[in-house]
Structure 1
């Protein structure tokens, strides 16, 4: 296993830092001829060489983990699982619709297919550790919802924990491509804090289905949540 030097890495311009880090790392891997099992430069080395913040480097590494390109080993470092090129870095998908209503409805069509299947797969594959994480996210969502009447960020974290419980990295990779559109559901669309509030009780029922490894019920509860989301998009955008 070779320990690479950091020659060939230079400071990055301010714009598009995460994408720039990804492309710089792709170029560095190709130039250094690194292969599976080789260790990458440390976060500190990348931060100094590229003149970016550590949070930017961590976000870039996180995206590479989602893509199945690298893995981080606690106390050891980050290792390359397979080489990749700058051309392999996916650009986010863009919803070309002028109105928020149309963007949300178009994204919802994609969400419905992905999330129903993700919930079913999570029900079949979840581990005891996954259940702990999902329930923690759900409990936090419920606390915030009861206190404030809304819980956008916590709601998002809950759904992401279900994606992770599938143990299929493609679900997260697909989400990364529509992240901006996906997150718009959790930012009080139409300036309405009550958006999709009626779906709140179904989140606990979805957790129960995943806990009980009831895949059909998990699909049904996910569909119930998203049906309410669709109704609110249409009602609140009139």
Structure 2
């Protein structure tokens, strides 16, 4: 345990359990190693992680790869970073709160955290898209959802089609900040967890509902568009929680 040490001593003490990673390790491997270290050494919210250069030295990797991994955690709200204060935990990283493997628990919590922030943005973006949709934008949205439905029905990887459909809604809403913020929120998670829980098609049960979302936006029904997005987000959250429950031991 290191939480009772003064900050300057704590940062030097923490990280002793880090072991060198094998060649070719990626950002997720770095974060898995840090997760295990944080749990093993009992670090808590507000505690400081070792400096990037020290993490890189002990893991036997380049500092740039450590910085990339910590930036992903920062985007997911797990750490806060400051040049003077260093990198500090902003969320609990512990295997004790739920009977899941630590890395899976952290992945689930990170996904739920980003999902809860994205939810109101997606709802409002859909509502504004319905209010601002022009005839030309409506044709594009209709084409995008048709592509999504056809790709899904063919049993192909529909993730890019889904991204293009939602991007068409963000572009239609009239405020580019919605799309920028949503992409930023998702980027931090996707840089580390390309396929959440090893399931690249998380949320595919919501695909058929997207056609009703497109219809609501094109017809200018803002309330219905917002309601459907809320339903989609609720279904994805329920799926995440169900996966966590199934993995519980």
Matched residues in 1 for 2:190 and 2:221: separation? 27
**Structure 1 stretches lacking a partner, 5+ long:** 1-90
* Aligned residue in 2 for 1:116: 123
Give deviations 1:50-87, integer Å, cap 9, x for gaps. xxxxxxxxxxxxxxxxxxxxxxxxxxxxxxxxxxxxxx
Partner of 1:168: 175
Q: Report matched runs for 1:79-228 at 5 Å.
A: 94-95=75-76, 96=78, 99-148=106-155, 150-181=157-188, 183=190, 187-228=194-235
Please give the secondary structure, in 1, of the residue aligned with 2:213.
helix
| 2:38 corresponds to | none
- Segments ≥4 residues shifted beyond 6 Å: none
Q: CA RMSD in A?
A: 2.5
CA contact (8 A) 2:119 2:233 kept: yes
Change (3 A) 1:173 1:192: closer
Please state whether the residue corresponding to 1:167 is helix, strand or coil: coil
Shift of the 149–173 alpha-carbon distance from structure 1 to 2, 3 Å rule, reads closer
User: Does the Cα contact within 8 Å between 2:141 and 2:168 map onto a contact in 1?
Assistant: yes
TM-score scaled by length of structure 1:
0.56
Gaps spanning 5+ residues in structure 2: where? Answer: 1-70, 79-90, 94-105
1:27: which partner in 2?
none
Aligned residues: 148
Output the CA distance in 1 between the equivalents of 2:131 and 2:152: 28
Question: Does the C-alpha gap of structure 1 residues 200 and 173 become closer, same or farther in structure 2, counting only changes over 3 Å?
Answer: closer
